[in-house]
């Protein structure tokens, strides 16, 4: 299931509706008292109770079959009440799914080391706790409804059973006093009637439980169907990619994120040739990162097409297409694996350690790694290893840069690649960028416009539209948006020391 989950489109796992379905599907696999295991257990019990009912019926029906009919009617009424109660309970538990997921998230925030600094320095532990308590309050209120309904239905069920038992005892007491049966027969019939009543009641209880837990299993089946459908949609017929001389084309691309009113991109068109270095410029929310998400197929376009060498990228197998890209995203994220595994993103035994050290040297991190107790085998983070190392933000960003270079794909993507670096390291790395990216198609997203001068072309975005396109000199001569942004930044560096 985890393997299938990781093969889903990125846009799917960002959907809260899908995550709710996921939570409901997983509920069928939790423990032995719910879902699949409970269905199988109750089927086994059901078969045993059917056998008991048949044996008891054969013995008692010769004398008091009408009592068996009475028991059947009362038990059916009981089971109908219980069945409706279970239906209501399932509906309420479905309503709790979102709140359960919220509570799980708040528990994670409260216990996850990576949130620790912000929680303490911004003193919002109480705020997180209040949010958790709000979610728990909603859960508790719904559980109270379940318990109240259980109490009411339980009272009715016990009342009906009380009436049934008193009628049975009354009939056989009268028969005994009238001399129709002796004391031994009285005890025997009472025992058989009780066995039939208990078995028939349990039989219907089993059927209710089977039905109830089957609803959880149905959620799991629906979840698996959605998973398989999404994965099958991912598996397009593989096109053999001609990477000898290719280009990427955006044709009138528009896109809006789910649950958003405004388009993130509006009718964007451009072409990038193999080997070009492209800078994507614009204010926050201009659409730069969205371009990358669409180009890498983390999302699919709403309108228009994106072509790789004249082939719509939606007709290319995702895994094959992903191999074209080596991205360095803006979010710095290391896994709790070793340094070498974090860079190579592969099993320890398959890591080219010499290659790892070469790229660590390129990003000015080789000395720091050599100084670690276990060198390349040192764990990043302390989540799984007490001897793990917690790196600074700038060091983590350099690890990500080394990871991107190690993958050595045809297309490099750098989203603010030096935002967390000190000026000296940043300058050293920028001086090496031409060597790092030689022969590669490279996309830079940056707010530091001085770093765009070595790019072949610069795309300037504003409010989801491609506003300007050209080289640094061409855009400066245009005296438009790029020129204004560049001059705004450059004046802060024009003061003499």
pLDDT in tens, 13-33: 666 677 777 777 666 666 556
Task: Please indicate, yes or no, whether the overall pTM of this predicted structure exceeds 0.85.
Answer: no
Between residues 329 and 369, which one has the greater pLDDT? 369
The confidence score (pLDDT) of residue 278 equals 94
Is residue 7 very low, low, confident or very high in pLDDT (cuts 50, 70, 90)?
low
Between residues 409 and 217, which one has the greater pLDDT? 409
The confidence score (pLDDT) of residue 357 equals 94
Cβ contacts of 365-368, under 8 Å, gap ≥ 24: 365/395, 365/398, 365/399, 365/402, 368/395
Which of 87-96, 113-122, 253-262, 351-360 is the least confident region?
113-122
Between residues 265 and 215, which one has the greater pLDDT? 265
Across the chain, mean pLDDT equals 81
Contacts of 99 (CB under 8 A, 6+ apart): 135, 136, 138, 139, 142
The confidence score (pLDDT) of residue 284 equals 83
Between residues 27 and 335, which one has the greater pLDDT? 335
The confidence score (pLDDT) of residue 260 equals 84
The confidence score (pLDDT) of residue 496 equals 53
CB 404 within 8 A of CB 326: yes
Mean pLDDT of 70-96: 83
Contacts of 135 (CB under 8 A, 6+ apart): 99, 100, 102, 103, 106
Between residues 248 and 22, which one has the greater pLDDT? 248
Please give the structure tokens belonging to residue 177. Answer: 């006093």
Given a cut of 50, whether residue 476 has pLDDT beyond it is yes
Is residue 346 very low, low, confident or very high in pLDDT (cuts 50, 70, 90)?
confident
Give residue-wise pLDDT tens across range 46-68. 888 788 777 777 776 666 677 77
Is residue 248 very low, low, confident or very high in pLDDT (cuts 50, 70, 90)?
very high
The confidence score (pLDDT) of residue 358 equals 92
Please give the structure tokens belonging to residue 129. Answer: 């706790």
Given a cut of 90, whether residue 277 has pLDDT beyond it is yes
Task: Please state, for a pLDDT cut of 70, what percent of the chain lies above it.
Answer: 86
Which of 113-122, 293-302, 369-378, 402-411 is the least confident region?
113-122
The number of residues in the chain equals 497
Which of 73-87, 286-300, 362-376 is the least confident region?
73-87
The confidence score (pLDDT) of residue 355 equals 93
Give the β-pairing of 325-328 and 411-415.
Answer: parallel
- Superfamily of structural domain 247-334+391-493: P-loop containing nucleotide triphosphate hydrolases (3.40.50.300)
Virtual CA dihedral for 280, 282, 287, 288, nearest 10 degrees? 30
Mean pLDDT of 130-154: 90
Given a cut of 50, whether residue 95 has pLDDT beyond it is yes
Task: Please state, for a pLDDT cut of 90, what percent of the chain lies above it.
Answer: 21
Between residues 213 and 463, which one has the greater pLDDT? 463
CB 220 within 8 A of CB 35: yes
Mean pLDDT of 126-143: 88
The confidence score (pLDDT) of residue 420 equals 64
Residues forming CATH 1.20.1560.10 domain(s) in the chain: 2-234
Is residue 497 very low, low, confident or very high in pLDDT (cuts 50, 70, 90)?
very low
Please give the structure tokens belonging to residue 54. Answer: 């048949």
List strands edge to edge, sheet with 265-273: 265-273, 247-255, 303-308, 311-312
CA atoms lying within 13 Å on the CB side of residue 357: 8
Residues forming CATH 3.40.50.300 domain(s) in the chain: 247-334+391-493
Is residue 34 very low, low, confident or very high in pLDDT (cuts 50, 70, 90)?
low
Is residue 244 very low, low, confident or very high in pLDDT (cuts 50, 70, 90)?
low
Alpha carbon distance 455, 441 (integer Å):
11
CATH of the domain spanning 2-234, picked from 3.30.450.20, 1.20.1560.10, 3.20.20.70, 2.60.40.10: 1.20.1560.10
Give the β-pairing of 265-273 and 247-255.
Answer: antiparallel
């Amino acid at each position: 299931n985890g393997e299938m989950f990781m093969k889903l489109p990125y846009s799917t796992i960002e959907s809260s509706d899908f995550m709710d379905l996921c939570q409901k599907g997983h509920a069928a696999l939790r423990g032995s008292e719910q879902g699949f295991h409970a269905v199988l257990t109750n089927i086994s019990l059901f078969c045993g109770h059917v056998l008991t009912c048949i044996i008891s019926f054969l013995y008692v029906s010769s004398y008091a079959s009408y009592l068996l009919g009475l028991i059947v009617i009362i038990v059916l009424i009981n089971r109908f009440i219980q069945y409706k109660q279970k239906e209501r309970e399932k509906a309420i538990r479905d309503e709790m799914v979102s709140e359960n997921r919220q509570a799980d998230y708040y528990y994670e925030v409260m216990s996850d080391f990576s949130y620790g600094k912000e929680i303490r320095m911004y003193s919002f532990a109480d705020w997180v706790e209040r949010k958790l308590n709000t979610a728990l309050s909603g859960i508790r209120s719904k559980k109270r409804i379940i318990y109240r309904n259980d109490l009411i239905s339980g009272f009715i069920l016990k009342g009906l059973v009380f009436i049934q038992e008193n009628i049975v005892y009354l009939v056989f007491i009268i028969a005994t006093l009238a001399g129709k049966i002796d004391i031994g027969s009285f005890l025997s019939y009472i025992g058989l009637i009780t066995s039939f009543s208990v078995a028939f009641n349990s039989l219907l209880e089993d059927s209710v439980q089977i039905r109830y837990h089957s609803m959880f299993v149905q959620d799991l089946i629906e979840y698996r169907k959605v998973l398989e459908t999404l994965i099958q949609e991912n598996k397009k017929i593989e096109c053999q990619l001609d990477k000898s001389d290719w280009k990427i084309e955006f044709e009138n691309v528009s896109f809006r994120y789910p649950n958003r009113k405004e388009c993130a991109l509006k009718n964007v068109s451009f072409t990038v040739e193999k080997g070009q270095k492209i800078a994507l410029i614009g204010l926050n929310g201009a659409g730069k990162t969205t371009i990358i998400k669409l180009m890498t197929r983390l999302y699919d376009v709403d309108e228009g097409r994106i072509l790789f060498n004249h082939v719509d990228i939606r007709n290319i197998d995702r895994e094959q297409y992903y191999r074209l890209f080596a991205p360095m995203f803006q979010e710095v994220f290391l896994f709790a694996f070793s340094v070498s595994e974090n860079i190579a993103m592969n099993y320890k035994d398959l890591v080219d350690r010499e290659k790892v050290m070469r790229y660590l040297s390129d990003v000015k991190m080789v000395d720091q790694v050599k100084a670690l107790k276990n060198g390349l085998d040192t764990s990043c983070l302390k989540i799984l290893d007490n001897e793990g190392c917690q790196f600074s933000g700038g060091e983590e960003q350099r690890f990500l840069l080394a990871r991107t270079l190690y993958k050595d794909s045809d297309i490099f993507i750098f989203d603010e690649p030096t935002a967390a670096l000190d000026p000296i390291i940043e300058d050293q790395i920028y001086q090496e960028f031409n060597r790092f990216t030689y022969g590669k198609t490279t996309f830079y997203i940056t707010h530091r416009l001085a770093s765009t001068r070595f790019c072949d072309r610069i795309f300037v975005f504003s409010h989801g539209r491609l506003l300007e396109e050209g080289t640094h000199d061409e855009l400066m001569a245009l005296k438009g948006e790029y020129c204004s942004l560049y001059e705004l930044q450059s004046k802060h560096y024009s003061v003499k020391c």
